[in-house]
Amino acid sequence: MRGFSEAANEVIEMRRRDFIGVIGGAALARPCAADAQQPGKVWRIGSVLVTTPERGAYLAQALEQGLTDLGYVLGRDIVLSHRFAGPQPDQVQDVIMSLLPQIDLLVVRGTVGGMAAKKVADAVPTVFVSVGAPVEIGLVQSLAHPGGNMTGMSFEAATETYGKRLQILKEIVPDLKRAGVLRAVGDPNVGFAMTSLEGAAPKLGVVLVPVDIKSTDDLEAAFAKIKNSEVEALLVIAGVLTFTIGSEIAGRALAAHLPLCSPFRETVIAGGLVSLGPDLAAMTRQAAALIDKIIKGTRPADTPVEQPTRYELYINLKTARLLNLTIPPTLLARADEVIE
236 and 288 share one domain = no
pTM: 0.81
- In angstroms, the Cα distances linking 135 to 25, 114, 197 are 28, 12, 19
Q: What is the dihedral of CA 173, 178, 184, 187, to 10 degrees?
A: 90
Query: Which H or E element spans position 243?
Result: helix 240-244
55 and 172 share one domain = no
202 and 249 share one domain = yes
Nearest-angstrom CA–CA distance, 88 and 235: 22
Q: Is 14 within a domain?
A: no
**The pLDDT value given to residue 160:** 84
Report residue 261: phi and psi, to 5°.
-115, 125
**The pLDDT value given to residue 188:** 86
180 and 316 share one domain = yes
Range of the domain at 238: 161-278+312-339
How many residues appear in the chain?
340
Cβ atoms < 10 Å from Cβ of 306: 17
pLDDT tens per residue, the chain (340 residues)?
333 333 323 322 222 233 223 233 333 333 333 333 334 789 999 999 998 898 899 999 999 999 999 999 999 999 999 999 988 889 999 999 999 999 999 999 999 999 999 999 999 999 999 998 899 889 999 999 999 999 999 998 677 889 999 999 999 999 999 999 999 998 888 988 999 999 999 999 999 999 999 999 999 999 999 999 999 999 999 998 999 999 999 999 999 999 999 999 999 999 999 999 999 999 999 999 999 999 999 999 999 999 887 889 999 999 999 999 999 999 999 999 999 9
CB-based contacts of 76: which residues, under 8 Å, 6+ apart? Answer: 34, 35, 36, 37, 38, 42
Q: What angle do CA 287, 146, 265 make, to 5 degrees?
A: 40
125 and 183 share one domain = no
Nearest-angstrom CA–CA distance, 294 and 303: 8
Write the CATH number for 178: 3.40.50.2300
Structurally, the chain folds into a number of domains equal to 2
248 and 293 share one domain = no
107 and 192 share one domain = no
188 and 252 share one domain = yes
Q: Is 9 within a domain?
A: no
